Structures are given as C-alpha cells and as structure tokens.
Homo-oligomer: A and B are copies of this chain.
Amino acid sequence: MKVLWVFAHPERRSLNGSLRDAGVRALEAAGHEVRQSDLYAMSWKAVADGGDFADTEPGARLTYAASSFRAFKGGSQMADVAAEQEKLMWADAVLIQFPLWWFSVPAILKGWLDRVLAAGWAYRVTDPANPKRSLRYGEGNLRGRRGMLIVTTGATAASLGPRGVAGDIDDLLFPVNYGVFWYTGMSALRPHLIHSANHVREDDYARLEAELVARLAILATDAPIPYRAQNGGDYDDDLVLKAAPGGEAAGLTATRLRPQS
C-alpha cells in the first residue's frame, strides 16, 4: 500500500515521535511505501486567511470557500496546499497522528485540514447525476482510501469511555472520522488510542510500539466504521435520517448503520 503519515506533535523525541518512527519502519519493512507530512517540521501554515490566495485583489472582501474554489479550479493554489493534496491522492491509506488537546486536534493539524481540503475538491463536489446533492459522506474525490487516527490522550480509557467524565472518545473524534474521512469519501477505521500518555515511561515504549505495529498489520483489511452514505437512500430530501422500523437512534449513533463492534 501507499501510506501517507500525517504527524502533528511538536517534539520528535516524544512518545508520539517514537511511535511514528516504529510505525514507519514496520510499514516499510512490510513492503509498503510511506510518505510523511510532519507538520511541525514543515512549519505548516496553520491559519486559513487571504494570504492563501495569490490572486486576491488588495482590499477585496474575502469569502474563504469561494476563493478556495477558484484557486483549486484555476490551478492557483499555494504550493504547500497543492503538495498535500497530491500526497492524499497518491495514498491508499492516510494515518493522522496527534495528541488530543482540549478534546480535539492541535491547531496546526486543524489548519492542515482547513487549508488542504479545498472547495471543489474535498467539499462542494457536484454530482453530475444529481445536481441537488453533492458528493460527500461516503462519496467524493478521496473515495477508495482508508483513514485511521493514532491518538495519545492524557485521560484514562475509563474516563474516555461511554460513561466516562471526559465523554466518549468515539464522539470526540467524530469530527475527523466522520466529518473529514467519511465526508471526503474515505473509509474511517477504528482509531488507535494510547491512553494516559503522560504517565507512559520509557520502559513502556516497546510494548506500545508493538501494539501499534500489530494494528498497522491489519491496515488494509480491518473493517471500517459502518457510517451511512448520504446518497444511499437512508436520508430524506432534507438530509434527515428517514424513520425506520428498527428504532429511533438519535445523535451521532444515527450516522452508523449498526452498532460498532
């Protein structure tokens, strides 16, 4: 497989850095091709602003999505943005690794999503067969790829469980698993989680690296989260889930075809 590894941690000499190095080594030893986007090492520009569009007239009112659409369609995107899009198109699998900060991704990673996922390419993708619905939620230009998050958390597994004080980690990661991977057409795999990361000692690194390597060994075969497709018949014209005899799921559970194993 061709694997893109996106890494969003400020310190290479960390648990996250060691896990990344071990994972890349294992993938390459298994014959996979790996490319990386180490966002801190790249000094990634995190803030989406008018500076992203070379052809913006000075003083013109900025509508970011409209400018993004024009720049993508017109081939005038920033070079850093276009390079990341090329990596995503190249990849069969996309791994995104980060520490959970404030129940979400670090700003530098959010800025990678905000800037790389251009209008006309990752959203506002028209469906020639049905102009009233865009290609998203299971369809789109990144369809066919697999995505997996690798996440270190400060909190314990119990406190990030379904009844934990921090909220269910699956719900906290929904904006990326569903809102980015699935939205752009990618299949989202269960995340690989490393809990209580602040209490990990160097003695534990080898075990945690082995667990990650074992997980990567099933990257091509692991069953994705069974999210519903927007255009598969489950949603009405208002994009609300149709009433089903099976029950009245609400909230994020309703976006899944069946309970996750």
Query: Using a CB–CB distance below 8 Å, which chain A residues touch chain B?
Result: 10-11, 13-14, 40, 44, 46-50, 61-65, 101-108, 110-111, 113-114, 117, 137, 154, 156, 158-159, 161-168, 171-172, 174-176, 178-180, 183, 198, 228, 230, 235, 238-241, 249-255
Determine the main DSSP class of A at the interface with B: loop
Taking CB as reference atom, which chain B residue is nearest A40?
B49
Are A102 and B179 in contact, with the CB atoms below 8 A? yes
Taking CB as reference atom, which chain B residue is nearest A101?
B114
Cβ contacts under 8 Å, A239 to chain B: 156, 158-159, 164-166
In the bound assembly, the distance between CA atoms of A115 and B48 in angstroms comes to 18
Are B168 and A251 in contact, with the CB atoms below 8 A? yes
Contact pick for A167, options B104, B111, B179, CB 8 Å: B179
Cβ contacts under 8 Å, A241 to chain B: 163-165
Q: List 20 A-B contacts (CB under 8 A).
A: A10-B48, A11-B63, A44-B47, A46-B46, A46-B107, A103-B176, A103-B179, A103-B183, A104-B179, A107-B107, A159-B238, A159-B239, A162-B250, A162-B251, A162-B254, A165-B230, A167-B252, A171-B251, A172-B179, A252-B252
In the bound assembly, the distance between CA atoms of A162 and B240 in angstroms comes to 9
Are B174 and A178 in contact, with the CB atoms below 8 A? no
In the bound assembly, the distance between CA atoms of A215 and B171 in angstroms comes to 28
Taking CB as reference atom, which chain B residue is nearest A122?
B102
In the bound assembly, the distance between CA atoms of A230 and B161 in angstroms comes to 15
Q: Decide: A175 near B103, CB < 8 A? Known: A49-B10, A250-B163, A251-B252.
A: yes
In the bound assembly, the distance between CA atoms of A106 and B65 in angstroms comes to 13
